[in-house]
Amino acid sequence: MLTNRAVSLLKRSAFKRAAAIGAVALATASLQPVAAQAAPVPVVGGTPAAQNEFPFMVSLSMGCGGALYKKDVVLTAAHCVDGSGNTTRITATAGVTDLNASGAIKVKSTKVLQAPGYNGSGKDWALIKLARPINLPTLKLATNTRYNRGTFTIAGWGDTSENAGTGSTKLLKAKVPFVADRQCKRHYGSRLIAGQEICAGVPRGGVDTCQGDSGGPMFRKDDSGKWLQVGIVSWGDGCARPLVPGVYTEVSTFSSAIARAAATL
Given a contact cutoff of 8 angstroms between Cβ atoms, the answer to whether 211 and 15 are in contact is: yes
Residue 79: active-site member = yes
- Rounded to whole angstroms, the Cα distance separating 109 from 106 reads 10
Strands (DSSP E) contained in 77-202 are 85-86, 91-94, 105-114, 126-130, 140-141, 151-156, 172-179, 197-200
Neighbours of 173 (CB within 10 A): 19
Give me the catalytic one of 59, 72, 79, 252: 79
* Listed residue (230, 104, 238) closest to 171, CA to CA: 104
Distance CA 251, CA 36 (A): 26
Residue 254: in which H helix or E strand, if any? helix 251-262
3-state secondary structure 108-120: EEEEEEECCCCCC
What contacts 146, CB < 8 A, 6 or more positions away? none
Catalytic residue among 124, 208, 213, 237: 124
**Inter-CA distances, 56 with 78, 90, 94, 236, Å:** 19, 18, 8, 24
Pick the catalytic residue: 59, 84, 109, 214? 214
Is 82 marked active-site? no
- Mapping DSSP to helix (H, G, I), strand (E, B) and coil, where does residue 41 land? coil
Instruction: For residue 124, indicate whether it is catalytic.
Output: yes
Residues catalogued as catalytic:
79, 124, 214
